[in-house]
C-alpha cells in the first residue's frame, strides 16, 4: 500500500516542490502502517534522500519508500548506494522542472 496525498489533478499535492518539507507523509504513513497490520506500506511524499528513506524504514514508519524524483535526478542512485558511492549521488532539488509527466490525451500519465 502506498500512502499518497492528492490525486491525478493535484500534482502540487502529490509531487510538491521545495516549499513543502521532505517526507511530508511520514506521520500519516506511520498511522496507516499501524492500522493495516501485516500489509506492506510504502512512504510517498518528497523522499529525495536515501538517508530519509533508510530512517523511515528503520523507525517503523514504512516498509519501503518511493523515491521517483530522486531516481530521475540520478538514474544510478541504487547502484551507487549498492557500491558505497552515496557521496556521488546527484541530488534531487525538488524543482519539478523535468520530472512532471503530463499528457492531455491521457491524464493518468
Q: Convert the pLDDT of each residue in 40-69 to its tens digit.
A: 999 988 888 999 999 999 999 999 999 888
Across the chain, what does the average pLDDT equal? 84
Between 20 and 73, name the one with better pLDDT.
73
pLDDT of 6 strictly over 80: no
Which three three-digit cell numbers place residue 99?
520530472
Rounded distance between C-alpha atoms, residue 70 and residue 22, angstroms: 12
Task: Report which DSSP code applies to 10.
Answer: -
With 60 as the cut, is the pLDDT of residue 107 above it?
no
How many C-beta neighbours within 10 Å does residue 102 have?
8
Quote the cell numbers at residue 106: 491521457
* 100 — pLDDT class (breaks 50, 70, 90): low
Average pLDDT over residues 67-91: 93
Question: How confident is the model at residue 22, as a pLDDT?
Answer: 79
pLDDT at position 7: 65
pLDDT band for 105, please (50, 70, 90 cuts). Answer: low
Which position has the grid cell 541504487?
78
What does the pLDDT read at residue 11? 64
Amino acid at each position: 500500500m502506498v500512502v499518497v496525498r492528492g490525486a491525478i489533478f493535484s500534482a502540487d499535492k502529490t509531487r510538491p516542490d521545495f516549499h513543502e518539507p521532505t517526507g511530508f507523509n511520514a506521520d500519516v504513513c506511520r498511522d496507516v502502517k499501524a492500522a493495516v497490520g501485516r500489509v506492506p506500506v510504502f512512504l510517498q511524499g518528497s523522499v529525495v534522500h536515501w538517508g530519509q528513506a533508510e530512517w523511515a524504514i528503520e523507525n517503523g514508519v514504512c516498509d519501503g519508500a518511493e523515491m521517483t524524483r530522486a531516481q530521475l535526478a540520478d538514474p544510478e542512485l541504487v547502484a551507487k548506494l549498492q557500491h558505497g558511492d552515496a557521496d556521488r549521488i546527484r541530488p534531487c532539488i525538488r524543482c519539478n522542472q523535468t520530472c512532471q509527466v503530463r499528457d492531455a490525451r491521457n491524464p493518468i500519465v
